[in-house]
Amino acid sequence: MNLTIYNTLTRKKEVFKPINEPNVGLYVCGPTVYGDPHLGHARPAITFDILFRLLKHLDYKVRYVRNVTDVGHLESDADEGEDKIAKKARLDQLEPMEIAQRYTIRYHDAMKMLNTLPPSIEPRASGHIIEQIELIKKILKNGFAYESNGSIYFDVEKYHEKYNYGKLSGRVIEDMISSTRKLDGQDEKRNSIDFALWKKANPEHIMRWPSPWSIGFPGWHLECSAMSTKYLGEPFDIHGGGMDLVFPHHECEIAQSVAANGKEAVRYWMHNNMITINGQKMGKSLGNFITLEELFEGNHKMLTQAYSPMTIKLFILQAHYRSTLDFSNEALQAAEKGLSRLFAAARLLTKIKPSANSTVNVNELWEKAYTALCDDLNSPIALATIFDWVRIINSLSEGKETITQADLKTLKSTFNTLVFDILGLANEQLADTKHTNLAGNLMEMILNIRLQAKANKDFATSDKIRDDLAKLGVTVKDRKDGFDWEI
RNA sequence: GGUCUCGUGGCCGAGUGGCUAGGCAGUGGUCUGCAAAACCACGUACAGCGGUUCGAUUCCGCUCGAGACCUCCA
């Protein structure tokens, strides 16, 4: 099956063709580790995790690189020139690397809880200063950068004479130059739209490295250019990230690659949209974000309860990755109930008895859901199809539909592949472990006693057992041929 | 201000020039000792106004509204 993906560069869906089949290089912009991972971080992580899993399922050999930005970016406010990570470190009286380490671990923990696969390589910007300096040298040598007071700036205007700065973001650079030039007479930069490749460090700036030009630190956009091509070659297949990175971050990456090597490094640019809260972007700068920990613990004023990582995942997958997704407590509650319905069906599926013939067409699930996923990761359609089959599985369980042994086998494998392998939903409470451990055996025992009480029409006893279990958080579901239960 | 995106039923959210999205919530029913779950049925949509078309929620134009980027941001 062909995979199509929406390429931001061409603004349309394209059939995905790897440069070096069967190898695929995937690079995704990771977090800047100076704060707790929040709901916004979950979106690209989950989106590109699905892509990673899907590519592997399509039998590609995928190298997935996601960076950790631990050098920090320049502040834009009064603390101009000071590194974000350095600033936080000074306030907390900690080493910058201590901060970076702490939040890297927290990020990893959250990503693991969301059941996203770890990238093949997770390079740190601080570990690639040399590569970044080499890249700057190349750009300087090709004449697309200049030194100014120990700092190196990218000469956008000069670059634009030969190439097209703005091709990714659709920005008209001539307008930007003419409208902003006059304001920046005093600046080190020749032009306000020039961006830093290397910044000379102020004395108080504690994250610093030597370079041919000054003691300083690399510019904002350099690390991704340097690390992506180091590990994936040039050109490589897919570069992903949040839509808010299109300009300037990714636009600058293109310019850097072209200025250094005369050609673009990336074939397909993919961007996930933002999560909004009350219709507004959820973000660090707006102070309206919810951390993943707060979500998992229900510890936030907008939340009435805690939500499991898988609930968050389903919530995100129910929207297409290129649409904004509006967060609300109500929407999460809906996702939670849907998830439990989905998992209940997954459990039921293990108990269905085959019949002589099938009244259902099991191929439909795979065809519709897999086709949807291969169509620019249309997870909402895939999930809609899966939920159609949740209903069918329930009907099969009640004997309202029938299925042959062979079809049942196909259905189990298809359902599990889609839900668990590709969408990466994980149910820690799934039957196997639950029903073999002590708690599971005790539940069997208790519920058999209740069944006996029911058979004797001793409803007082059976209701007491059910009510007491409910107080412990266990829901009992009576069935024709016995019982089921879930926590 | 410039560039761009979007406006779908109570909420979230797909999709399409004519054929049920889906989840959650609601209503009626079946099942059940009762309940839960499940299944069946039902209802409320495509911001507004024009245009193209046999036919538009879907294409085009305008109006209104919301948002994103232009500054670190997933």
The three-state secondary structure class of A109 is: helix
Q: How far apart are CA A344 and CA A314, in angstroms?
A: 15
Amino acid A92: pLDDT: 64
User: Do residues A210 and A129 touch, judged by C-beta distance below 8 A?
Assistant: no
ipTM of the assembly?
0.95
Q: Which nucleotides of B are covered by protein (CB under 7 A)?
A: 2-4, 10-15, 21-25, 31-40, 66-74
The three-state secondary structure class of A358 is: coil
- Give the start-to-end residue ranges of the domains of chain A: 4-272, 276-422, 437-486
Distance A199 CA to B70 C1' (A): 23
Q: How far apart are CA A460 and CA A470, in angstroms?
A: 15
Burial of A85 from C-beta contacts in 10 A (0-12 / 13-18 / 19+): buried
Give me the residues paired with residue A27 across strands. Answer: A65, A239
Amino acid A185: pLDDT: 46
CB atoms within 10 A of CB A162: 12
The reply to whether the CB atom of residue A452 sits less than 7 A from any atom in nucleic acid chain B is no
Q: What CATH class has A4-272?
A: alpha beta
Distance A319 CA to B42 C1' (A): 27
Burial of A142 from C-beta contacts in 10 A (0-12 / 13-18 / 19+): middle
Nucleotide nearest to A376 (CA to C1'): B14
Amino acid A76: pLDDT: 38
Give the CA radius of gyration of chain A. Answer: 27
Q: Domain A276-422, what architecture?
A: Orthogonal Bundle (1.10)
Amino acid A480: pLDDT: 73
Segment-wise mean pLDDT, segments of 10 residues, chain A, 487 residues: 94 94 97 93 97 98 96 51 71 79 96 97 96 97 95 94 92 71 61 91 84 93 96 96 95 96 96 92 84 95 94 97 94 95 93 93 96 97 97 93 96 97 82 62 87 88 90 82 79
Q: How far apart are CA A465 and CA A478, in angstroms?
A: 13
Which residues 130-189 of A interface with strand B at a CB distance below 7 A? 169-172, 175-176
Tokens in use for A136?
């700057």
